[in-house]
Amino acid sequence: MKKEDDYIDWEKEAPHLYAIPKENAFKVPKRYFNELHPHLLSQVTLEDLGKESVFEVPENYFNQLQSQIISQIKIDELINQNNGFKAPENYFKEAQQKIKIAVKTPKKSTKIFNLNFIRYAAAACILLTTSVGIYFNISRQQNVSYQLSKLPNEAIENYLLLHTDANDLPAILNHLDNKSVFSLNKDQLTDDQIKDYLEYTP
Amino acid sequence: MVIEDEVILKKFEDDKTRHEAFSLLLEKYQQKVYWHIRRIVINHDDADDLVQDVFIKVWKNLINFRQDSQLYTWLYRIATNESITFLKKKRSKNNVSIDDLSEELGESLNESQYFSGDIIQRKLQEAIITLPEKQKLVFNMKYFEEMKFQEISDILGTSVGALKASYHLAVKKIEAHLTTKD
């Protein structure tokens, strides 16, 4: 203890303090100071790296940003201001409830067309079309037979002689019954007729 | 071998030897700065954070250091200011008075695994913690670090006479604390 520097007569003025050994009672973790040195060097190196920004912003970005922010604040203020209109008391609360109820209630949907009706109508149309077609077909066939029955045999024979060729013979033969063929009297046919027949028949 | 401050400062001026100079500075002062901070804030983790903050500030500002004062005086001033600012922030953050903060620091002393002092050492530290800020600083720097009053004056910016008075008061208070029974 340097008495000439601190102007204290330690033994007289602070005997208890004077009796305490001057030692450092604080401790640090093991190897703390060995690790502190490189750690601090790393810290300052990082500090240097952190100074340079690798990011860039467009020219005048911050000036524009400032004006944009101020404009946005003004718009928000205007929106939040009272606009002079008043809604009935509890209007928005009640409107919300009404909307919720309306959304929850299922709507009765009105069908423009009844699906079953369409099915039945389509089936009826098909049946009608088919029936009409069959009817007219049968009628036409009956009408042709009826018309032919009224024609004299000579007219039919003349028509066949004029309008048929060898290709039509199988169809004609199919419509001739044996009776009519064999009922022919050989005496009724002349020799020339038989000769012609044989000549033109393949 | 102790490197002179002038050598460190000279090397620091050159970009090529700046990191080497800083490494020399750390070797010379890191422990002194750490213990100075630790005696103020008591807790090791807080001291560890602060010592890093201090040396980063030193790294940033050493290039502007004017050699009209001693390097160690400048280092101690930064460390002291950082520590006091830290304690003020802590007090403000926890919304506690100076007395409550002293009590909190005393409790952290008891709970700390990094305090190995016996009963009388613990009692001495508890007495120091209860001192007003300026008296605590002067006592620690004079009693433990054995600085001259002029050096302390350079660091704290207080007159030597005022420091002597503060020191004398601190010793009286600590002696009184040591004589009281628990």
Nearest to B136 by CA among B150, B148, B126: B126
**Whether the Cβ atoms of residue B90 and residue B102 lie closer than 8 Å to each other:** no
Chain A hits for B174, CB-CB cut-off 8 Å, are 14, 17
A152 burial via Cβ count (<10 Å: 0-12, 13-18, 19+): exposed
User: Distance between CA A45 and CA A43 in Å, rounded?
Assistant: 5
What kind and span of H or E run contains B72? Answer: helix B71-94
Q: At which of B64, B97, B130 does a domain end?
A: B97
Could A44 and B56 be called an inter-chain contact, meaning their C-beta atoms sit closer than 8 Å? Answer: yes
Interface check for B161 against chain A (CB to CB < 8 A): the answer is no
Residue B156 pLDDT greater than 80, yes or no: yes
Q: Is the pLDDT of residue A13 over 90?
A: no
Q: Tell me the residues of chain B between 60 and 79 that have a Cβ less than 8 Å away from chain A.
A: 60
Report the pLDDT averaged over residues B33-37.
95
Give the gap in angstroms from C-alpha B64 to the nearest C-alpha of chain A. 16
Establish if B102 belongs to a structural domain. Answer: no
Q: Examine residue B144 and state whether it is found in any structural domain, yes or no.
A: yes
Structural domain ending residue among the three candidates B97, B130, B161: B97
Of B97, B131, B158, the last residue of a domain is: B97
The alpha helices in chain A, defined as continuous H runs, are 3-6, 10-13, 15-19, 32-49, 61-80, 91-104, 115-150, 153-163, 169-174, 178-182, 191-200
Structural domains of chain B, count: 2
Domain that holds residue B60: 1-97
Instruction: Tell me how crowded residue B167 is: count the other CB atoms within 10 A of its CB.
Output: 23
For all residues of chain B together, what is the average pLDDT? Answer: 89
Which residue in A has a C-alpha nearest to residue B29's C-alpha? A37
Instruction: Report percent pLDDT > 90 for chain A.
Output: 1
CATH code, B59: 1.10.1740.10
Task: For A47, name the nearest residue in chain B, comparing CA atoms only.
Answer: B56
Is there a single domain that holds both residue B77 and residue B121? Answer: no
Q: pLDDT band at residue B154, thresholds of 50, 70 and 90?
A: very high
Residue at A36 is within a domain = yes
Q: Which two tokens stand for residue B121?
A: 């050492």
- Determine what percent of chain A is predicted with pLDDT higher than 70: 75
Residue B59 and residue B127 in one domain: no
| Record: contact A33-B142, CB cut-off 8 A | no
Interface A:B, Cβ pairs < 8 A: 95
Cβ pair B37, B83 in contact under 8 A: yes
Tokens matching residue A130: 């088919």
Task: Determine the 3-state secondary structure of A77 from DSSP.
Answer: helix
Query: Which pLDDT band holds residue B182 (cuts at 50, 70, 90)?
Result: low
Of B22, B38, B48, the CB nearest to A26: B38
SS3 content of chain B, % helix, strand, coil (to 5): 80, 0, 20
B178 min Cα distance to partner chain A (Å): 7
| DSSP at B95 | T
- Does residue A105 sit within a domain? no
Does the predicted interface ipTM exceed a cut of 0.95? no
At B141, which amino acid appears?
A: M
B12 touching A (Cβ < 8 Å)? no
What is the extent of the structural domain holding A37?
3-48
What is the domain count for chain A? Answer: 2
Residue B108 lies in a domain: no
Q: Note whether residue B103 is domain-resident.
A: no
Residue A7 is predicted with a pLDDT of 65
Q: Which two tokens stand for residue B38?
A: 């630790």
Is A84 among the domain residues? no
Residue A186: is its pLDDT beyond 70? Answer: no
- Which residue is listed with tokens 């001057």? A22
Which CATH number belongs to the domain containing residue B168 in this structure? 1.10.10.10
